[in-house]
């Protein structure tokens, strides 16, 4: 019985493999590198804990909750500290807390009186024509004005996408925001009227979703998945060719410098999509996936620094600080990591995780480690009153970090659909489809597993529909 091939051992591929294994469907996961987890990597050293990639998960779907439960890691889950609710945005060179209530909104110095009055007029702004594709900047300026673009949306987009709202498509990068306007004619009305529909789908908006991590960082999740998959994973096996056959797919990979080919019932590609055009494809129908290499993946560097608590003047009483482009700092934002979750720094110390690069300053992310530390320190001294030198540092560079859902991204989504239609049994999933967050990637892994299961089951001989149990360790 042929197994399903999963290409890529990031959170999407691991989730898909785990879900299929629990259905007793054979899987083989090929990972090009020596470890699984992708951008998720946690380092604990000298009493500090630093995340290389994502720092938390938003519980936007019950599928995320069920994965944590089914893996048996609920007791290791950590919720953020109650005092870490504040989110700061820089204006005039200093962090200002975002308002957390209607009264706070009207009294905050973050926005001018004119901007606040403009927001009240939002329900009366006409919706855009359905066929028009706007950038986030165009959408926000039209509905709530330039000031909210500069001091709310611009820093938020930099924090989420490391991107530029003048290039990202509102329809593709924030589809729920686009849908609110199309359905309700107003973002404010849509937030209230759409709440019932979200409850019916058992979904939570990202603004209201619970955030969490684990006692030893997010790698707890990927390490546990890796342990459950056990001998289903093939490390250091980059794939070089896919060949469609009459009853499945041949996958050719490199192992220790030599090529070897394996037969599989189907292929689930969950590696970064910019790598797909590097792989040869032989299929029954002509397919050209070379244009996928045009998706913009700007570089991002994560710089985690530890300090003595007395050498940071800011109270660090929140989630972190985001920096608008207009403020002309080098870093995109900083997480107050040790305020957010416990055991991220030794007693009497704090951990601050800053991000550089993205579409705003891509060249900065590619600087050397020591220069990245100095650039970050320069900004933190101004923004948070940091003095002294770091007692800990951890730098992670991602030369191709986050796919940018820019205007025109629909052509890439259409090409992905075309690949799946013209090459049955070949599936694409990951942060380049329907969301870039860690939670989105988990949901993507679940859904692609369902699609692959249907394909695998339909291809079985009738007498083989009752699948023998072969991987009890996955269901444990």
Q: Which CATH number fits domain 42-82+296-398: 3.90.550.10, 3.40.50.800, 3.40.190.10, 3.90.660.20?
A: 3.90.660.20
Q: What is the pLDDT of residues 58-83, one digit of tens each?
A: 999 999 999 999 999 999 999 999 88
- pLDDT of 350 > 90? The answer is yes
48, pLDDT greater than 70: yes
CATH of 100-208, one of 1.10.760.10, 1.10.10.10, 1.10.3110.10, 1.10.275.10: 1.10.3110.10
pLDDT over 70 for what percent of the chain?
Answer: 93
**Predicted structure pTM score:** 0.91
Domain ranges of the chain: 4-38+218-295+405-475, 42-82+296-398, 100-208
Shortest CA distance to 171 belongs to which of 408, 369, 471?
408
Give the H/E segment covering residue 5: strand 4-7
At 472 the pLDDT is 42
Q: How far apart are CA 136 and CA 157, in angstroms?
A: 9
- The CATH homologous superfamily to which domain 4-38+218-295+405-475 belongs is FAD/NAD(P)-binding domain (3.50.50.60)
State yes or no: pLDDT of 207 exceeds 80: no
- Rounded Cα distance between 452 and 77, Å, is 30
When pLDDT is cut at 50, 70 and 90, the band that residue 204 belongs to is low
Give the count of beta carbons closer than 10 Å to the beta carbon of residue 302. Answer: 25
Tell whether the model's pLDDT for residue 462 goes beyond 90: no
What mean pLDDT, rounded, does the chain reach? 91
Q: Which of 176-180, 203-207, 456-460 has the lowest mean pLDDT?
A: 203-207
CA atoms within 13 A on the CB side of 224: 20
The CA distance from 172 to 157, in Å, is 13
**Residue 473 clears pLDDT 70, i.e. is over it:** no
In whole angstroms, how large is the CA radius of gyration of the chain?
23
Segments of 25-117 assigned E as strands: 27-30, 42-45, 48-51, 57-59, 77-78, 86-91, 94-97
Measured in whole angstroms, the distance separating CA 294 from the mean position of its chain's CA atoms is 20
User: What are 29's two structure tokens?
Assistant: 């996961």
Q: Are 253 and 238 in contact (CB under 8 A)?
A: yes
Least Cα distance to 175 among 415, 409, 449, 346 occurs for 409
Distance between CA atoms of residues 219 and 226, nearest Å? 10
pLDDT for the residue numbered 199: 65
Residue 405's pLDDT is: 97
Lowest mean pLDDT among 34-43, 169-178, 326-335, 463-472: 463-472
Most confident of 82-86, 150-154, 464-468: 150-154
Q: Name, in order, each residue with C-beta under 8 angstroms of 81's C-beta and a sequence gap of 6 or more.
A: 339, 340, 341, 342
């Amino acid at each position: 019985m042929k197994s399903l091939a999963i290409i890529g051992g990031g959170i999407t591929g691991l989730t898909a493999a785990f879900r299929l294994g629990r259905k007793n469907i054979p899987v083989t996961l090929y990972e090009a590198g020596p470890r699984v987890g992708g951008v998720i990597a946690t380092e604990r050293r000298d009493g500090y804990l630093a995340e290389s990639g994502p720092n938390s998960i938003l519980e936007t779907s019950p599928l995320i909750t069920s994965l944590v439960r089914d893996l048996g890691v609920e007791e290791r889950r950590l919720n953020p500290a109650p005092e870490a609710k504040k989110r700061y945005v820089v204006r005039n060179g200093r962090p200002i807390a975002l308002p957390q209530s209607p009264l706070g909104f009207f009294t905050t110095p973050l926005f001018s009186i004119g901007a606040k009055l403009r927001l009240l007029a939002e329900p009366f702004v006409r919706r855009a024509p359905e066929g028009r594709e706007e950038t986030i900047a165009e959408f926000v300026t039209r509905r709530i004005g330039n000031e909210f673009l500069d001091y709310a949306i611009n820093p938020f987009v930099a924090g989420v996408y490391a991107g530029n709202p003048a290039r990202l498509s509102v329809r593709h990068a924030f589809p729920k925001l686009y849908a609110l306007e199309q359905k309700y004619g107003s973002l404010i009305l849509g937030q209230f009227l759409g709440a019932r529909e979200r409850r019916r789908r058992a979904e939570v908006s990202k603004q209201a979703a619970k955030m969490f991590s684990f006692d030893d960082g997010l790698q707890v999740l990927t390490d546990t998945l890796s342990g459950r998959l056990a001998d289903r994973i093939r490390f250091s096996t980059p794939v070089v060719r896919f060949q469609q056959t009459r009853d499945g797919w041949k996958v050719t990979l490199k192992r220790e410098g030599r090529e070897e080919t394996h037969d599989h019932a189907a292929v689930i590609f969950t590696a970064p999509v910019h790598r797909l055009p590097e792989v040869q494809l032989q299929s029954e129908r002509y397919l050209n996936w070379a244009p996928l290499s045009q998706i913009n993946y700007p570089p991002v560097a994560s710089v985690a620094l530890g300090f003595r608590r007395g050498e940071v003047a800011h109270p660090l009483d929140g989630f972190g600080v985001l920096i608008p482009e207009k403020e002309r700092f080098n870093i995109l934002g900083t997480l107050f990591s040790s305020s957010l979750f416990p055991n991220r720094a030794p007693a009497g110390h704090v951990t601050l995780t800053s991000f550089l690069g993205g579409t705003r300053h891509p060249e900065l992310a590619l600087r050397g480690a020591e220069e990245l530390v100095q650039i970050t320190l320069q900004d933190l001294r101004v923004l948070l009153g940091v003095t002294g030198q770091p007692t800990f540092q951890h730098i992670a560079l991602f030369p191709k970090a986050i796919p940018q859902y820019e205007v025109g991204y629909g052509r890439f989504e259409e090409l992905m659909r075309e690949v799946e239609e013209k090459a049955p049994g070949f599936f694409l999933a990951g942060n380049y489809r329907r969301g870039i967050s860690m939670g989105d990637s988990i949901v993507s892994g679940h859904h692609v597993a369902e699609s692959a299961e249907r394909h695998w089951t339909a291809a079985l001989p009738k007498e083989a529909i009752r699948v023998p149990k072969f991987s009890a360790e996955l269901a444990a």
